[in-house]
Structure 1
Amino acid sequence: MAPEPLHPVTVLEQCHVSPSPAPAAGQPRALPLTFFDLVFWGFPPVQRLFFYDNADLLDASDFTLRELPKFKKSLAAALHHFYPLAGKLPCELSEGVAPEVLFSHGDSVPLTVAVSGDDFEDLAGDHARDTARLHPLLPALRQHGGSRSQDVLAVQVTVFPRAGICIGTTLHHAVADGSSYAHFLDKWATTHRLGPDCKKAVAAIDVPPLFDRGAVRDDAGLREAFVRDHRALVAAGDRRLGDWDLSRRPGVVLATFRFTDKQLRALGRHVESETSARCSPYALACGAAWAGIVHARRSGSGRDVDGGAAAPRARFGFVTGCKPRASPPIPANYFGNCLGVCRVEAGARGLTAAAASAAIWRVIEGLAEEGGAFRDARGWVRTVREYASARAVTVAGSPKLRLYAAADFGGAWGRPRKVEIASVERTGAVALAESGRDGDGGIEVGLTLPRAEMEAFRTFCLDLFASLC
C-alpha cells in the first residue's frame, strides 16, 4: 500500500455547485456516449492539479471569506454552459442501461475546500516528489443509488497559508477529452477573471460547447461493437488496465522535465541525420521520453521493457485529434471525446531517442492518409488493454491544449505556476504541456516512476542533451 501523506489536509467545507442559471429548457438532458467516449470507459479518471502563488494569502479564512464566493459563482456560471459536467453517468455498461450522461434538475458538482500544512513551494516544483503527498489534493467522484451512477466532475480547492492555493479536478474520461476540458476551464477562469457582471460579455466572445451527438457519424457501428467488447471484458474478469497502476507501489515519485526549444531543435537535427525523419517537437519530446523510460526500467529492474526478461519490442501509444479528420469534420467546439488511438513499436534493446522519435513521427505522418486516423478502429478497446498489460508508455495531455493560459483566473491568482496531470500515476502515461513558466516555447514532460527509475531517467535526459551541444 502507498504510504500515508505526511501532511494530510483538513477539510473546511464540502458543498455542491449547480449550473447557474439552470440550462435552457431546450438543451438535451441525456447525452449518449459515442464510440469515441467508449474507448475510455473503465479508465481511471483524469486528475489535474493547478498551483497558484499568493504569498499575501494570510490563512484559510482569508480565502474563504474573500475569494471562495467568487470561485463558486464563476464555477456555477461556467457550468451553465457545460451543464453535463454536473450530471451523472452509469457505473456499469449493463444490459438495458443506456451508456449516457444524464443531467437532472438539481444536479451539481461537489466542491471541497481544504487547508494543508504541506510545503507549497516543494509540492509545486519540478523535482521528484512522493506521489502520496499529492493524493490529499485530489477530489473523488461520488457514487449514487447503491453504486448505480457516479459523478462526472469533482473539484477541490486547497489553501496553503502565506503561499497559495491548489485547484484539483477529477473528471471521468468517458465524458470529455482534453480539448473539451480546456474549453470548460477557459470559460470558468474567464468568467472569474472578468467578474459576475461580465457574464454576457464572456458569452459573446466565446463559442458555446456543441452537444449534438449527430456530429459524430458511426457508419461502421463502432459504438455497439465497443459496448459488446466492454461487456465481454467485464464478464471475463479483465483487469488489465490496472497493470499500468503504480499507486500501490512504494517509493513512486512524480517529476517534471522541461525540454526547451533549443534542446528540441538540436534533437531534431540529430534525428534527421540519423534517420532522415524531420520530426515535430511533439514527436521529439515523446521519443525522448519513451526511450528514457525504456532505459530507466531496464536500469531499475534488469529487464528490457514491458515486464519481460528479453522483450524484443517496445510499445508506445498516443492519441490524435479526430475532429478535422472525421468525415464530415466535427466542429471544434463539440463537447465529448474525439480521439483516435495510435500505436508505435520499435526494438526495445538499446532504444535511442532518435529511433523512438522517428518511429513516432512515421505513425503521425500516416495519419495524413485518407482514413488513416481510423485504421484498425474496431480494435481500439481491446488494443488499449493489450498495451496496458504490456506496460506500454502512453501520452496524456498535449501542448496544444494550452492549459496554463486557459487556467488564468486573474486578480491575485493569474496563471498557475504549475500544472500537473496527477493521474499519470495510474495510467502509465507521460504528461505533456506547453512550457508554462519560462516562456521558452518548449514542452513540459511529467511522469511517475519508482525513485530509482526516475533517477535513471533524469540521467538519460541529461546525457542525451549534453551529447547534442
Structure 2
Amino acid sequence: GATDHCPSATRKGRAESIVQPSKAMAPGLNPLTVLEHCQVSPSPSPPAGKPRTLPLTFFDLVFWDVPPVQRLFFYDNADLLGAPEFLLQELPLFEKSLAAALHHFYPLAGTLVCRIPEAGAPQVVFSDGDSVRLTVAVGGDDFQDLAGDHARDTARLRPLLPSLPRHGGGGGGSRCSTQDVFAVQLTVFPHAGLCIGTTLHHAVADGSSYVHFMRTWAAIHRLGPECGGKWAAPPLFDRSVVRDDNGLREVFLRDHRALAAAGGKRLHDWDLSQRPGAADLATFRFTDMLLRGLGRQVESETSARRCSPYALACGAVWAGIVHARGSSASFGFVTGCKPRATPPVPENYFGNCLGLCRVGKEEEAKLSGGLTAATASVAIWRAIEGLAEQGRVFRDARGWVRLVREYASARAVTVAGSPKLVVYAATDLGAPWGRPRKVEIVSVERTGALALAESGRDGDGGIEVGLALPRGEMEAFRAFYHDLVATASSYEAAT
C-alpha cells in the first residue's frame, strides 16, 4: 500500500495520546514534536514500461553539488483543532494524494548515488516499493509570526524542513552510498494552520519540474485522483529530448571528478548557514507601483528606456546587498533553456533545463565605482537582452560547473525561483486550505540566493523577494529598501 508504515490502528492510538506542546514555550526554543515518519510509495505503481533509471543530463550535473532546494508552504486554517484531529481526518487525505501524484512523478521516490562514479554518470534509480519519507509533526511556535514578511531567525524555520535520508556507507554521513532525492514534512499548528516542507535534490529537477509536481499533487488533493492527474500534461522522462552535441556531459563529469580529486570543498560544505552569528530571513515586496517607480527612476538616471520587472527587482536587491555588505559582488542568474535548446525541449520534460547567466565582467567593471538600483537593473536587463541571440546562453556552457564553484566561493548574488513559476496559484489545495498564505525558499540561507516568486497577496501584483542575511546586514538592507521605496514613490508621483 501507499503508507504501509503508518497503520491506522497505530495512528488512532497515537492520536488519542498526543500531548500538545506548551504554548508558553519561547519561540526561540523551536518547540516541535515529531509524531511519525511514514513511507509513501507511488500508488498505483508506475507501469512496467516506464523507465526505472534516469541518467543525469549535463543540465542536471550543473547542480550536482549545490545544497538541496527547501521550500515551506504555510496554509492558514484557524479551524484546525489539533494534531489528533489532523492525524485521523486530514493526514490520510494528504498521504493518498501524495501517493497518487508520485504515480506520475515516481522518480521522486527513487535514490541517487552520493558521489560521482569513477566511470559512467550518476542516475536516479527507482525500484518498485521505493517511497518518499513523509514526516508528521506538531509545532508550538507562533504560526502567524513564522509566516510573516518580517525578519525571522532562520533557526526557527529549519525544524519545519525534512532531511533527505541516506543509505549505506557504514553509518551514512559523507560515506553514504545512496540518498533519497525528495522528502516531505507536514507540521500542524493547532488553531492556526499547516506548514508543508519539502526538500529536493537539485540534480533531479529544476523549479519548473518541481512546481509541475506540486501542481499535480495539489490538484489531486483538491479534485481527487480521478480528476487531478488529468488536468495537466504528464511529466516526460525521455532523456533523448536533451541534445548534447558538444559533449557537455563528459566535460561536467570530468570537472566534478577533478574538483573532488583536488580536495576542494564540496558546495555542501560551503554552507552559509554555518557562519557565526544569527541569520534572518525576510520578504521584501516589489509591488506593481514600486516597480513602475523604479522603472521611471531607471529612465531618469540612465540611458536605458525600459527594464523588465524581473531586472528591476533583482537589480534593486543586488544593489542593496552590496550596500549592506560594504563590498562588491558579482550577479548571476539562470534562464529556462527548454525553448532555447535546438530542438526545443518539451515544456513537460522532467529534470533540469537551466542555463547559467551572469552580468558580464566588463559591465561589472563599469559599475565598480558605485552600484545603484538603477545601474544594477540596467546591467541585468542588458544581460537578459543578450540572451535573445541564438545559442548565446550556451556560448560559455563548458565552464558552468566551475562557475557554480566560483559563485559559491565569492559569495556572488544569485537567484532561486521565478515569478513565472506562479507557485502560489499552483499549490491551491482546495477546502479547507486554499492557497498558501506564504511560500519560502528557506535554502537560500545556505546558498545566499534571492528567492523570487509572484506576489502571493491577492490584487497587489508584483514580485516578492525572500532574502537571508546575517542580522547586521539585514538591518542595513532594510534601511536601503525603505529609502528605495521612498525614492521610487517620488518618481511615481511626479508622473
TM-score w.r.t. the length of structure 1 is 0.94
Distance 1:41 1:140 in 2: 17
The code of the aligned residue for 1:279 comes to C
Residue 98 of structure 1 corresponds to which residue in structure 2? 121
SS in 1 for 2:480: helix
Pick closer, same or farther for the CA change 1:415–1:450 going to 2, 3 Å: same
Distance 1:238 1:8 in 2: 37
Residue 253 of structure 1 corresponds to which residue in structure 2? 280
Shift in Å at residue 246 of structure 1?
2.9
- 1:148 lines up with 2:174 in the alignment: no
Distance 2:213 2:309 in 1: 27
Q: CA RMSD in A?
A: 1.3
- 1:214 lines up with 2:240 in the alignment: yes
- Name which of 32, 37, 59 aligns with 2:55: 32
SS in 1 for 2:71: strand
Shift in Å at residue 425 of structure 1?
0.3
Residue 339 of structure 2 corresponds to which residue in structure 1? 324
Shift in Å at residue 240 of structure 1?
6.4
The code of the aligned residue for 2:310 comes to Y
Residue 423 of structure 1 corresponds to which residue in structure 2? 443
Residues 44, 103 of structure 2: 8 Å contact kept: yes
The code of the aligned residue for 2:219 comes to T
- Name which of 391, 397, 400 aligns with 1:377: 397
* Structure 1: unaligned runs, 5 residues or longer: 299-303, 306-313
Residues 433, 443 of structure 1: 8 Å contact kept: yes
* Structure 2: unaligned runs, 5 residues or longer: 1-26, 170-175, 491-495
Aligned residues, how many?
Answer: 450
Distance 2:39 2:337 in 1: 34
Distance 2:369 2:282 in 1: 25
- Aligned ranges for residues 359-378 of structure 1 at < 5 Å? 359-378=379-398
- 1:130 lines up with 2:153 in the alignment: yes
Residues 105, 213 of structure 2: 8 Å contact kept: yes
Residue 200 of structure 2 corresponds to which residue in structure 1? 171
Residue 239 of structure 1 corresponds to which residue in structure 2? 265
- Name which of 318, 324, 339 aligns with 1:290: 318
Residue 274 of structure 1 corresponds to which residue in structure 2? 301
Distance 2:425 2:81 in 1: 26
Q: Alpha-carbon deviations, 1:221-271, whole Å to 9, x = none?
A: 000110010011011122263446134432110000001001101101211
- Name which of 398, 411, 429 aligns with 2:431: 411
SS in 1 for 2:273: coil
- 1:443 lines up with 2:471 in the alignment: no
Q: Alpha-carbon deviations, 1:12-41, whole Å to 9, x = none?
A: 010100000000111000000000000000
Shift in Å at residue 349 of structure 1?
4.3
The code of the aligned residue for 1:131 comes to T
Q: Alpha-carbon deviations, 1:358-377, whole Å to 9, x = none?
A: 00000100100010111200
Residues 35, 222 of structure 1: 8 Å contact kept: yes
Pick closer, same or farther for the CA change 1:243–1:294 going to 2, 3 Å: farther
SS in 2 for 1:393: coil
Residues 221, 228 of structure 2: 8 Å contact kept: no
- 1:341 lines up with 2:356 in the alignment: yes
SS in 1 for 2:414: strand
Shift in Å at residue 6 of structure 1?
0.9
Deviates more, 1:391-400 or 1:237-246: 237-246
TM-score w.r.t. the length of structure 2 is 0.89
Pick closer, same or farther for the CA change 1:247–1:131 going to 2, 3 Å: farther
The code of the aligned residue for 1:205 comes to W
Shift in Å at residue 204 of structure 1?
2.9
SS in 2 for 1:24: coil
Residue 309 of structure 1 corresponds to which residue in structure 2? none
Distance 1:247 1:69 in 2: 37
Q: Alpha-carbon deviations, 1:374-414, whole Å to 9, x = none?
A: 12000000011111111100000000001101111111100
- 1:18 lines up with 2:47 in the alignment: no
SS in 1 for 2:230: helix
Residue 387 of structure 1 corresponds to which residue in structure 2? 407
- Name which of 371, 390, 400 aligns with 1:351: 371
Distance 1:268 1:227 in 2: 42
Shift in Å at residue 171 of structure 1?
0.1
SS in 1 for 2:75: strand
The code of the aligned residue for 2:152 comes to R
Residue 119 of structure 1 corresponds to which residue in structure 2? 142
Give identity over the alignment, percent. 74
Residues 244, 391 of structure 1: 8 Å contact kept: no
Residues 247, 425 of structure 1: 8 Å contact kept: no
Residue 461 of structure 1 corresponds to which residue in structure 2? 481
